Amino acid sequence: MLTNDQLSQWDRENFFHPSTHLAQHARGESPSRIVTGGDGVFIEDRDGNRLLDGFAGLYCVNVGYGRTEIQDAIAAQARELAYYHAYVGHGTEASITLSKMVLDRAPSNMSKVYFGLGGSDANETNIKLVWYYNNILGRPEKKKIISRWRGYHGSGLMTGSLTGLAGFHKKFDLPLSQVKHTTAPDYFRRDDLNQTEAQFVAHCVSELEALIEREGADTIAAFIGEPVLGTGGLVPPPAGYWEAIQKVLKRHDILMIADEVVTGFGRLGTMFGSDHYGIEADIITIAKGLTSAYAPLSGSIISDKVWKVLEQGTDENGPIGHGWTYSAHPIGAAAGVANLNLIDSMDLVDNAGKMGAYFNKAMADAVGGHAHVGDVRGEGLLCAVEFVEDKSDRTFYDSSKKIGPQLAAALLKRNVIARAMPQGDIIGFAPPLCLSKTEADSIVLSMADSIKEVLG
């Protein structure tokens, strides 16, 4: 390994990091870390720190680090055939096997899976397919997409537009005009504090209906949403939300895209978030948990209803004009097959449900009563703690106080990685699905200590 100083210098001089303050990084003013290894829920860095990764990378290393089963599958695939494309009917044993494994696990109305590389490109694929679908059905006006404020769907041109977070729009000339945002189903952050949860759901529904009315249902093609809001703050939906929203979508013949990049393959204690909340999606986006990030791979799972129209489209127009060089990359597919087998053999979906319930309760018991903890929420192995200056009237801290980042830094001192979610003073946890009770307890203890250090 190169000497530490030399690597740091090369990093500052050459490496354009995503989601980073570029100027501060280049000047060496912001923290950086060079990661060298990992096993189970832990990562190691070049300075010899061993850190409990309470966010599984970017909620993606679901089986945990260092799994030889996946490493060996990747190596074997690389030796046998590192690459061949999937265009015009080509495939490999790994890509064909993985598509069957995905469909075997998906809701029963699903028909086919298209493989991409990451969540953003999968959602780009989805929107193109939705537009194609409505063109084939002779409804060229029905093209707008409804997304939610605080939703996260990627950072491409279309997907950055779907993402309902200002930081992904500002100075990028986004969102594109075809995207319309509606209310975030975030009960804790409701405008009217007197609203009950049921009244808040009714409010979300009426806002959606008003948007559809304003735009015209015949101009709206699809609604996209994460079963649980992720990057927007790890917010499970209020009770009855998905049932009520889907009624509106059905009434207006609007397709439902469930973005399961985070929730797919077990994070909520069910194989898909759609199973968890009774979402009947027309298209499901998958990525992260598909390979546990051992290799880049994403997918768009297409329902029978949409697939039939796509087939009709190619009968009328010839082969579909959509594809990436690396679609269904054999190494990604081999990682996916080994990963899904490991999720089964380690019983990780079940562990996510049981350990998630334990972890969320332990967190709420340990810190929920603190004067500045406004909300402790979660589902499966997602957990968030949101901080307020004054609990009685839910006054948020001024963002300049950087309470969230201070807490994340305090956790890091205790060798625990958590994510200071950017949309408020929110500390998010999404550990690998193999989390044990001892590891859950140690995160909770570190969180309680960190709160004491930063907020008293």
Which phi and psi (to 5°) does residue 379 adopt? -155, 135
Residue 344 in tokens: 């089964």
* d(C-alpha 277, C-alpha 275), whole Å: 6
Residues that bind ligand PLP (CB under 6 A): 58, 118-120, 123, 152-154, 226, 230-231, 259, 261-262, 287
Q: What angle is formed at CA 183 by the lines to CA 179 and CA 188, rounded to 5 degrees?
A: 145
CB of 146 to ligand PLP, least distance (A): 16
115 - beta bridge partners? 299
Q: Which residue is nearest to ligand PLP (CB)?
A: 119
CB of 122 to ligand PLP, least distance (A): 7
C-beta closer to ligand PLP: residue 186 or 226? 226
C-beta closer to ligand PLP: residue 155 or 450? 155
CB of 421 to ligand PLP, least distance (A): 12
C-beta closer to ligand PLP: residue 133 or 168? 168
CB of 156 to ligand PLP, least distance (A): 8
Tell me which residue of 50, 18, 54 sits closest to 35, measured CA to CA: 50
Helices (H), 227-318: 241-251, 273-277, 304-317
C-beta closer to ligand PLP: residue 374 or 424? 424
C-beta closer to ligand PLP: residue 118 or 164? 118
Per-position DSSP letters for 78-130, written without gaps between them: HHH-S----GGG---HHHHHHHHHHHHHS-TTEEEEEEESSHHHHHHHHHHHH
Tell me which residue of 289, 260, 280 sits closest to 352, measured CA to CA: 289
C-beta closer to ligand PLP: residue 147 or 183? 147
Q: Residue 203, CB half-sphere, CA atoms under 13 Å: how many?
A: 17
CB of 333 to ligand PLP, least distance (A): 16
CB of 160 to ligand PLP, least distance (A): 10
**First-last CA distance in the chain:** 42
CB of 1 to ligand PLP, least distance (A): 28
Pairing of strands 50-53, 382-387: unpaired
385's enclosing H/E stretch is strand 382-387
Tell me which residue of 252, 254, 259 sits closest to 225, measured CA to CA: 259
CB of 272 to ligand PLP, least distance (A): 13
C-beta closer to ligand PLP: residue 65 or 152? 152
C-beta closer to ligand PLP: residue 164 or 374? 164
